Structure 1
């Protein structure tokens, strides 16, 4: 082997090792193999479709995908991200990994949760399955605070659309036992330290409720009591975490009333809350980067997050 080829091989080897050493995303299963709660063995398979965005459906193995900022930039804060999709799909990059990378630019750990979507084929009591997964995800991240170089008392959640409903569900049902503990992780608190709700679905029984999310989560014939249980404006109390809400007035998919009614419930219970309603943006605007006004919402969020310290 010539000296040139040897040097080239050494360079490529070192370069590959560097990429591996500084790679920011790590995917971890939420549950030990064979111990996923409420799971039924079936022929249902997970589906990934990459078009304008990555859409994941029929999730079978819930995971967290962890993006960490450099240690020098880290604030100690972490945010678990719940992509939306009407409890039918997950808009996994648009409202997930893109958000995590954006948070990293501000020194915040971004952790995307690939949670199971309700399925009568592969689950029992499908209504509780997404909540089961995100309770576990919050506990798992808290258990790994030292490993991830984050503060265990500064772990928040962020949800978009139906993911916003799931986030508000966790924020109002974090202390309810909905699965049997399987290890030491499940002894930790599932309470988020703060919530960020982006054009969230909130109610399940009002005229402006999002029918798709309601039908996918609760079915078209919900069992008694579940519509109120998952109408999270009715579940707010003084232990609900501080909350930041963002919505657009012209949202035709999930009307702005969802954010308004949740904000009123927070204020009634003296929970610290901030809400930003933009005149336009429609539904599913994500980071809003293509609109000069709408794209200011993440900066408003970062300022609010700093105020929590």
Structure 2
């Protein structure tokens, strides 16, 4: 069931009849609505569509991956609110409700989030004419663990489909740009967010999986231009995640811009009311105009 509690915007199923890498379970999706709408145990991944007016439309689009430690999605805080901001800039935005690896409805836990992110980019390209977007101006944005998913997509967009492909699934899943907010990037124990790592890979993961999902190790010249925001006092996701990823991007001559703020902690979203930290979206908009 698609829950209509979020908004009046269109919500589309990410997959057709069969969700790949899934299995039957009695598990139910959980939605809590307190100060933030949080979704856990995602059963049916979706895209919620936010389109600017045709007159303001720039042709750019972005898939937004909310964070939540790979255990839940901060759906409005790092999804809907961000999508609405993009619309004010003439940019179409799509909030991704992706499957979380702790779900009993998933066969191979660590593959499901990336499969959903790949599918999201492919759907945007497939329906580009319908949504009045440019196939070559589609990016991905992620917050915290959603930043890990976004950076996995940006570095490993060619991850093979381990399921029967449709016409959509052969379209390129490479984002044209990437935006990372206080992202988890590495799975290596020195700087990772342990909660995200435990949820994605398990408490005692195989070292090959740790290497596979440490995205600073997979940057190449084909990684898309990247914009990064982090705070130096982030005690949950060390700023070294962003610093090391930035260095890897520079080493591969990928155009990148990074803003490290001295305060803000973790999970500040639009940072409304947090002095000049709340200007980070202005910096992003300046960057987007130039790429």
What is the TM-score of this pair, normalised by structure 2? 0.96
Equivalent residue in structure 2 for 1:255, among 238, 243, 250: 238
Per-residue CA deviations over 1:190-248 (Å, capped at 9, x if unaligned) read 00000000000001013121000000000112134100000000010110000000000
* Runs (5+) with no aligned partner, structure 1: 1-22
Whole-Å Cα distance in 1 between the matches of residues 47 and 8 of structure 2?
Answer: 13
Whole-Å Cα distance in 1 between the matches of residues 161 and 153 of structure 2?
Answer: 11
The alpha-carbon deviation at position 120 of structure 1 amounts to: 5.6
Residue 124 of structure 1 aligns to a residue whose secondary structure is coil
| Structure 1 counterpart of 2:268 | 285
Equivalent residue in structure 1 for 2:39, among 28, 31, 56: 56
Structure 1 segments (4+ residues) deviating >2 Å: 178-182
Residue 25 of structure 1 aligns to a residue whose secondary structure is coil
| Structure 1 counterpart of 2:155 | 172
| Structure 2 counterpart of 1:154 | 137
| Structure 1 counterpart of 2:196 | 213
| Structure 2 counterpart of 1:109 | 92
Per-residue CA deviations over 1:109-155 (Å, capped at 9, x if unaligned) read 01000000003621111011100111011100111111001101000
Number of residue-to-residue matches in the alignment: 285
| Structure 1 counterpart of 2:118 | 135
Whole-Å Cα distance in 2 between the matches of residues 40 and 181 of structure 1?
Answer: 15
| Structure 1 counterpart of 2:175 | 192
Residue 275 of structure 2 aligns to a residue whose secondary structure is coil
| Structure 2 counterpart of 1:235 | 218
Give the root-mean-square deviation of aligned CA atoms: 1.1
What is the TM-score of this pair, normalised by structure 1? 0.90
Whole-Å Cα distance in 1 between the matches of residues 162 and 8 of structure 2?
Answer: 31
The alpha-carbon deviation at position 25 of structure 1 amounts to: 1.8
Whole-Å Cα distance in 2 between the matches of residues 278 and 177 of structure 1?
Answer: 37
8 Å CA contact 1:69, 1:108 repeated in 2? yes
The alpha-carbon deviation at position 24 of structure 1 amounts to: 7.0
| Structure 2 counterpart of 1:97 | 80
Whole-Å Cα distance in 1 between the matches of residues 94 and 115 of structure 2?
Answer: 17
8 Å CA contact 1:24, 1:69 repeated in 2? no
Answer with 1 or 2: which has the greater Rg. 1
Residue 48 of structure 1 aligns to a residue whose secondary structure is strand
8 Å CA contact 2:41, 2:103 repeated in 1? no
Residues 1:32 and 2:16 aligned together: yes
Of 23-32 and 113-122, the range deviating more from structure 2 = 23-32
8 Å CA contact 2:21, 2:163 repeated in 1? no
Per-residue CA deviations over 1:63-121 (Å, capped at 9, x if unaligned) read 00000000000111001000000000000000001100111011110100000000362
The alpha-carbon deviation at position 181 of structure 1 amounts to: 4.2
